[in-house]
Amino acid sequence: MDPSIRSKLERIAERFTEISALLSRPEVQANQGQYRRLSREYAQIEPVVERFTALRDLEREADGAREMLGDPEMRELAQDALTESERRLALLEPDLQRLLIPPDPDDERNVFLEIRAGTGGAEAALFAGDLLRMYLRYAEARDWRAEPLSESTGDQGGYKEVICRISGRGVYARLKFEAGTHRVQRIPQTESQGRIHTSACTVAVLPEAEEIDEIAIGARDLRVDTFRSSGAGGQHVNVTDSAVRIAHLPTGIVVECQDERSQHKNRARAMALLRARLLARAREEQTSAQAQSRRLQVGSGDRSERIRTYNFPQNRVTDHRINLTLYRLDDIAQGDLDPLIEALIQEHQAEQLASLAEAAH
């Protein structure tokens, strides 16, 4: 193992011991913010420390076996033990290096999923509806909870824009690579000549900001309007001004929520969405010079900008970032996104491992 990587592992093991002692102190337990941060760090580095301990145990076993190789009576047994220890070390070292990849602090956060129709008119709006259905089915399969926040329906169905909150374990970790322009190629129902049309939608995945994130929002920076929710009518029509629209004056960001009948709940959800957008904006400004961030940015919705293409006539999905093509669009449209997401995660980890190895030398 590279000495610099080993040195890093030893520092992590020392930090783990330090955190264990801190978490047992009454003054730390009484400070909920500090206790939560330390507990999160403890949980993040515990798997690294466990495997590093196992690695050191295997190294001691291997050293002991080498010492016994000089004994003729023990040589065969020692060689077998040494071979087994080296085999297990060869499996453990790369696994340990993967765990050294710095975790994304947002990976366990809930997200705001925003889908907007781009070029393609009515067909783009219909595709936005298809994308929403795909993500909702994926969320259901992973036992996540999806809550609608706002929507603007298309003239012939689907959505010009739709926003929902998705909560659960590891939501951002699995959905963050979905951000970008999604392109569809298919024959619209309204196409009498049977020609294939190309349309596009943009998808944004924003991690939900926690209260501990220092997003300062002053009351003077906000303009809050209430209005009557638009609905299908009938007995469920909203007869009070419970929908809420909030404009953040310094940035021009506007959010709204009209899903709940309670103005208080709609305001709380709108503020959560505003906080997430401000957090995303601040981080985007910090990382705008990084190529990886540019790759994941949402484009303008133009057909030529795309991270993924859904070709219905060929039952094909292509993710252009990793040159992956799968001929199972029917399954993916029903929410079977794991083959795509796992491939994207693996590629991302490979890039981080390469950077880690480069930094170690």
State how many domains the chain has: 3
Range of the domain at 55: 3-99
Which pLDDT belongs to residue 227? 85
Residue 355: inside a domain, yes or no? Answer: no
What is the chain's pLDDT, residue by residue, as a tens digit (361 residues)? 667 778 888 888 999 999 999 999 999 999 988 999 899 889 888 988 999 999 999 999 999 999 888 888 888 998 999 999 999 998 888 788 778 887 788 888 999 999 999 988 899 999 999 999 999 999 999 999 999 999 999 988 999 999 999 999 999 999 999 999 999 999 887 666 778 889 999 999 988 876 545 567 888 899 999 887 765 444 444 456 788 999 999 889 999 998 777 888 898 899 889 988 888 887 777 555 433 433 443 444 454 568 999 999 999 999 999 999 999 999 999 999 999 999 999 888 888 777 766 665 5
Q: How far apart, in whole angstroms, are the C-alpha atoms of residue 182 and residue 162? A: 15
Q: Which amino acid is at 49?
A: V
**Do 196 and 144 fall within a single domain?**
yes
Q: Which amino acid is at 217?
A: I
Residue 244: partners with Cβ closer than 8 Å, 6 or more residues away: 224, 225, 226, 256, 257, 258, 263, 266, 267, 270
Whether residue 119 contacts residue 133, with contact meaning beta carbons closer than 8 Å, is answered with no
**Do 94 and 23 fall within a single domain?**
yes
**Do 203 and 243 fall within a single domain?**
no
Angle formed by the axes of helices 75-99 and 32-68, nearest 10°: 150
The residues facing 147 across adjacent strands are 165
Residue 358: inside a domain, yes or no? Answer: no
Which pLDDT belongs to residue 162? 94
The CATH number assigned to the domain holding 253 equals 3.30.160.20
Q: How far apart, in whole angstroms, are the C-alpha atoms of residue 78 and residue 185? A: 63
Backbone angles phi, psi at 335, to 5 degrees: 105, 5
Residue 359: inside a domain, yes or no? Answer: no
**Do 208 and 305 fall within a single domain?**
yes
**Do 208 and 62 fall within a single domain?**
no
**Do 168 and 304 fall within a single domain?**
yes
Residue 360: inside a domain, yes or no? Answer: no
Burial of 114 (0-12, 13-18, 19+ CB in 10 A): buried
**Do 198 and 329 fall within a single domain?**
yes
**Do 165 and 276 fall within a single domain?**
no
**Do 243 and 228 fall within a single domain?**
yes
Structure tokens at 84: 């087994």
**Do 13 and 94 fall within a single domain?**
yes
**Do 75 and 126 fall within a single domain?**
no
**Do 278 and 223 fall within a single domain?**
yes
